[in-house]
Structure 1
Amino acid sequence: MKEHVDGIVQWLQNQVKASGTKGLVVGVSGGLDSAVVAHLIKRAVPENSLGVLLPIYTSEENMGHAHDVIESCGINDITIDLTDTHKTMYSEIKNQLEESNSFIDANDQLSSANLRARLRMSALYALAANYNYLVVGTDNASEYYTGYFTKYGDGGVDILPIVEFTKKEIREMADYLGVPSDIVRKKPSADLWEGQTDEDEMGTTYDKIDDYLKGKEIPEKDKNIIESMHAKTAHKRDALPRYKRS
Structure 2
Amino acid sequence: MMLDPRALRIDPSFVERRILDFISEQVSAAGLKGGIVAVSGGLDSSVTLALSAKALGGNRVRALMMPEQGLTSESDITDALEVAEMFGVTCDVVDITPVIRAIYSALPNYDPQDLISAGNVKARVRMIINYYYANRLGKMVIGSSNKSELLTGYFTKYGDGAADLFPLADLYKTQVRQLARHLGLPRRIIEKVPTAGLWPGQSDEGELGVKYELLDLILLGWERGMSVESVAEELGVGVELVRGVFERVRRSRHKRVFPLILRLSSNKSELGSGSSWGGEGGRS
After TM superposition, the score normalised by the length of structure 1 is: 0.92
Task: Out of 55-64 and 189-198, give the one that drifted further.
Answer: 55-64
Q: Is the 8 A contact 1:203 1:225 kept in 2?
A: no
| Partner residue in 2 for 1:79 | 93
| Partner residue in 2 for 1:23 | 34
SS at match of 2:62: strand
Aligned mates of 1:212, 1:111 — CA distance in 2: 28
SS at match of 2:198: coil
Among 92, 106, 115, the residue aligned to 2:121: 115
Aligned mates of 1:69, 1:240 — CA distance in 2: 36
Task: Out of 51-60 and 148-157, give the one that drifted further.
Answer: 51-60
Q: Structure 2, unaligned stretches of length 5 or more?
A: 1-11, 222-230, 266-284
Pairwise CA distance, 1:104:
5.8
| Partner residue in 1 for 2:162 | 156
Aligned mates of 2:21, 2:28 — CA distance in 1: 11
Amino acid aligned to 1:90: Y
After TM superposition, the score normalised by the length of structure 2 is: 0.80
| Partner residue in 2 for 1:200 | 206
Based on CA coordinates, which of the two structures has the bigger radius of gyration? 2
Q: Is the 8 A contact 2:23 2:55 kept in 1?
A: yes
Structural mapping, 1:171-190, within 5 Å: 171-190=177-196
Amino acid aligned to 2:61: S
Structural mapping, 1:1-246, within 5 Å: 1-46=12-57, 47-57=59-69, 58-93=72-107, 96-97=108-109, 108-215=114-221, 217-218=234-235, 219=237, 220-245=239-264
Q: Is the 8 A contact 1:9 1:40 kept in 2?
A: yes
Amino acid aligned to 2:260: P
Pairwise CA distance, 1:209:
1.7
SS at match of 2:133: helix
Aligned mates of 1:174, 1:132 — CA distance in 2: 28
Q: Is the 8 A contact 1:72 1:178 kept in 2?
A: no
Pairwise CA distance, 1:105:
6.5
| Partner residue in 2 for 1:100 | none
1:80-103 alpha-carbon deviations (Å, 9 max, x no partner) = 11111111111221xx22xxxxx6
Aligned mates of 1:38, 1:27 — CA distance in 2: 8
Aligned mates of 2:111, 2:178 — CA distance in 1: 42
RMSD value, Cα? 1.5
Task: Out of 222-231 and 30-39, give the one that drifted further.
Answer: 222-231
Amino acid aligned to 1:241: L
Q: Structure 1, unaligned stretches of length 5 or more?
A: 98-102
Identical-pair percentage: 35
Count the aligned residue pairs: 238
SS at match of 2:218: helix
Amino acid aligned to 2:43: L
SS at match of 1:66: helix
Q: Is the 8 A contact 2:180 2:190 kept in 1?
A: yes
